Amino acid sequence: MKIAGNIPIREVEERYINIQPIQAAGRLTAEAMKALIVYGDGYSTCDQCRKPFRLDKITKPPIAEFHNDLARFLGMDEARVTPGARRAFQAVCLALVNKGDTVLVSALGHYTEFLAVENARATVREVPANEANIIMGDAVAQKIEEVTRENGHPPALVMLDHFDYSLANEHDIVGAAKAAHQYDVPLLYNGAYTVGIKPVNGKALGADFVVGSGHKSMASPAPSGVLATTSEYADTVFSTTQMIGDLTGRQFGVKEVQMLGCTLMGGNILAMMASFPTVKRRVKEWDEYVTKSNHVVDTLLGIKGNTCVSEYPRKHTLSKVDTTGSFDTVARTHKRRGFFFSDELKQRGIVGAFAGATRAWKFNTYGLSWDQTRYVADAFQEIAGKYGLL
Amino acid sequence: MDDAVDYVFEALFALSDLRVLLRETAPLHKFNEQQLSQAREALARAKNALEELDEELQK
């Protein structure tokens, strides 16, 4: 079965348990699928776009209401949808950071934070993690002082991931926000791995900006994301155009410069909206998902030679484990080398582990039922048993 | 033919519900009682919408 003759049907989610590290929480809800069916056409949000002609002001469908709900959901004052978290980093950097400024990011920060800073012609400085691979507030304070001494002024912004993409360790957001605010530096909370799966209250955490990823953690299609902020920074980051055409005298009034006008104008925002009731409900089930994650990690740790590279016990559903002492010993002599492991998993209906990897690798159990969680854990144990690793 | 559009969407929505049930039960697709009843209900909605659609097309 193919679409348009050459596009294969993607049936990974229907046929397998997918433990791919970044795909788990972006899987669509049934409601989002329905929204995509109905609103997939290009400018489908614009049927009833009335003055002042801006996406976040549209009331039919209730996009304006969704923006208010999003801000409330994140404990912030204002929110906009963006084409992914990266475009939110970019918007904040372009609004707050000047050429030659310094921006602090985590030593475990995502590459798109680097690009957003570079895009603003500024420079990143990395805050080191401690020996447990956690970014602490005092390390942020120390780095701010270091940069201030060198540059004569503090960094323009601190960007910190609550849970990082690499290990999914939890970092000291509250401590970092306190440290940043002592030097009057705003803090951007990168919630790509939290917003939509665990409760996040930006103001309570001390964040000036909360960024989330729709396709990573809000059961939405790519690209989609959210940028929320306080009333203190809203006018700066959501500033409206002042430009006037020199020939025509045209002005575009309410269009927001950093958003480049309207952002998600079709199925993406409607799918995001359609998933939102589920998202609001599921964040309350976060602890249960973490328990499931620990069940799988514990099973892996029960296999001799395995270690958990991420902090343990797990506080997240994304984990990095090291199986050099177990599955990799099999890979060394197996005719399929490291691929034996992904082959064995696939035979059992599990995909998403990096094909060929048997040393350090990541997986994500978010969204799995208990039946599926036990099934994955049992599969790891079964494979270990088959190769005499137990 | 006015109602044809509604029936098309209704069938697609019911099949979307069924699709999600397949995801939730992968890879074995062994439905428990509740899932089985949800699947039957979704299938009935899809069938009904398609029958109505067929009638609509014959008008």
Considering the entire predicted model, what is its pTM? 0.97
* Nearest-by-Cβ selection for B27 from A17, A29, A38: A17
pLDDT tens for A228-285 read 999 999 999 999 999 999 999 999 989 999 999 999 999 999 999 999 999 999 999 9
Q: Which residues pair with A189 in a beta bridge?
A: A160, A210
Which residues from A are below 8 Å from B22, CB to CB? 14
Which residues from B are below 8 Å from A348, CB to CB? 27
Is residue A352 one of the residues assigned to a domain? Answer: yes
A11 and A99 together in one domain: no
The total number of structural domains that make up chain B: 1
A175 and A239 together in one domain: yes
Which residues from B are below 8 Å from A14, CB to CB? 19, 22-23, 26
A228 and A309 together in one domain: no
Q: Name the average pLDDT for chain A.
A: 97
> Which of the four pLDDT bands, split at 50, 70 and 90, describes residue B3?
very high
CATH number at residue A310: 3.90.1150.10
> Which of the four pLDDT bands, split at 50, 70 and 90, describes residue B59?
confident
User: What residues make up the domain containing A334?
Assistant: 2-24+284-386
pLDDT tens for A9-56 read 999 999 999 999 999 999 999 999 999 999 999 999 999 999 999 999
Six token digits for residue A116: 């957003």
3-state secondary structure of B2: coil
Closest-CA distance of chain A to residue B36, Å: 16
Nearest CA in chain A to B29: A15
Q: Examine the pLDDT at B1 and tell me if it is beyond 80.
A: no
- A170, A162 contact by CB (below 8 A): yes
A147 and A198 together in one domain: yes
Closest-CA distance of chain B to residue A17, Å: 6
Rounded Cα–Cα distance for residues A116 and B23 (Å): 36
* Nearest-by-Cβ selection for A13 from B9, B23, B28: B23
A40/B contact by beta carbon, under 8 A: no
Do you know the residue count of chain B?
A: 59
Strands A17-18 and A350-351: parallel
How confident is the model at residue A383, as a pLDDT? 98
Q: Check whether the bond before A62 is cis (ω within 30° of 0).
A: no
Dmax (CA) for chain A in angstroms is 78
Rg over alpha carbons for chain B, rounded to the nearest Å, is: 13
Strands A7-8 and A2-3: antiparallel
A61 and A12 together in one domain: no
A59 and A134 together in one domain: yes
Q: Examine the pLDDT at A370 and tell me if it is beyond 90.
A: yes
Is residue A55 one of the residues assigned to a domain? Answer: yes
Rounded Cα–Cα distance for residues A371 and A349 (Å): 13
- A339, A355 contact by CB (below 8 A): yes
DSSP for A339-371 reads HHHHHHHHHTTEE-SPTT--SEEEEE-TT--HH
A318/B contact by beta carbon, under 8 A: no
Q: Examine the pLDDT at A71 and tell me if it is beyond 80.
A: yes
pLDDT tens for A304-344 read 999 999 999 999 999 999 999 999 999 999 999 999 999 99
CATH number at residue A69: 3.40.640.10
> Which of the four pLDDT bands, split at 50, 70 and 90, describes residue A95?
very high
- A377, A384 contact by CB (below 8 A): no
A188 and A311 together in one domain: no
> Which of the four pLDDT bands, split at 50, 70 and 90, describes residue B2?
confident
Asked if A349 lies within 8 A of B28 by C-beta distance, the reply is: yes
User: What residues make up the domain containing B15?
Assistant: 4-58
Rounded Cα–Cα distance for residues A283 and A275 (Å): 12
Which residues from A are below 8 Å from B15, CB to CB? none
Is residue A29 one of the residues assigned to a domain? Answer: no
**C-alpha atoms less than 13 angstroms from C-alpha of A180 in its C-beta half-sphere:** 27
Asked if A29 lies within 8 A of B20 by C-beta distance, the reply is: yes
A89 and A226 together in one domain: yes
How confident is the model at residue A389, as a pLDDT? 95
- A109, A159 contact by CB (below 8 A): yes
Q: Would you say the ipTM is above 0.95?
A: yes
Is residue A272 one of the residues assigned to a domain? Answer: no
Residue A80, number of CB atoms within 10 A of its CB = 27
pLDDT tens for A199-223 read 999 999 999 999 999 999 999 999 9
Is residue A276 one of the residues assigned to a domain? Answer: no
A168 and A311 together in one domain: no
The total number of structural domains that make up chain A: 2
Rounded Cα–Cα distance for residues B47 and B36 (Å): 16
How confident is the model at residue B38, as a pLDDT? 98
A180 and A93 together in one domain: yes
**C-alpha atoms less than 13 angstroms from C-alpha of A213 in its C-beta half-sphere:** 26
Rounded Cα–Cα distance for residues A46 and A39 (Å): 11
pLDDT tens for B9-22 read 999 999 999 999 99
Domain boundary, last residue among A208, A233, A265: A265
- A269, A224 contact by CB (below 8 A): yes
Is residue A361 one of the residues assigned to a domain? Answer: yes
A236 and A335 together in one domain: no
Asked if B16 lies within 8 A of A348 by C-beta distance, the reply is: no
Closest-CA distance of chain A to residue B28, Å: 8
A216 and A296 together in one domain: no
Rounded Cα–Cα distance for residues A238 and A197 (Å): 26
Which amino acid is residue A158, in one-letter code? V
3-state secondary structure of A24: helix
Asked if A372 lies within 8 A of B26 by C-beta distance, the reply is: yes
